[in-house]
Amino acid sequence: MSAKGSELKRVRQSRKSNEYNNHYKSMMKTSIKKVLGSTTKEEGQPLKDNAFKVIDKVASKGVIHKNKAANQKSRITKYINTLK
């Protein structure tokens, strides 16, 4: 890669946005894992609400696509509905 100013700036920008995106993706994955680790509906319901909030936040920031957010929410809902 040649060391042109605009190319170097683009690399700096992509690194910054990559850090930003990884933070939000990690936060989302953690909240989803907490829900999928729950064993009862009573335990899972508040975790589900929190996970939905995080997923919506991440999707609104453009880190993930809105359809991926919908798929994740659907997956969580299916899991919660199978619990007793």
C-alpha–C-alpha distance, residues 80 and 3, integer Å: 52
Tokens of 83: 């619990």
pLDDT of residue 84: 86
Task: Determine if residue 31 is left, alpha or beta; phi over 0 gives left, psi from -120 to 50 gives alpha, anything else beta.
Answer: alpha
Q: pTM for the whole thing?
A: 0.87
Please report which confidence band the pLDDT of residue 4 belongs to, taking 50, 70 and 90 as the band edges: confident
- Residues 16-73: pLDDT tens digits? 999 999 999 999 999 999 999 999 999 999 999 999 999 999 999 999 999 999 999 9
pLDDT of residue 3: 78
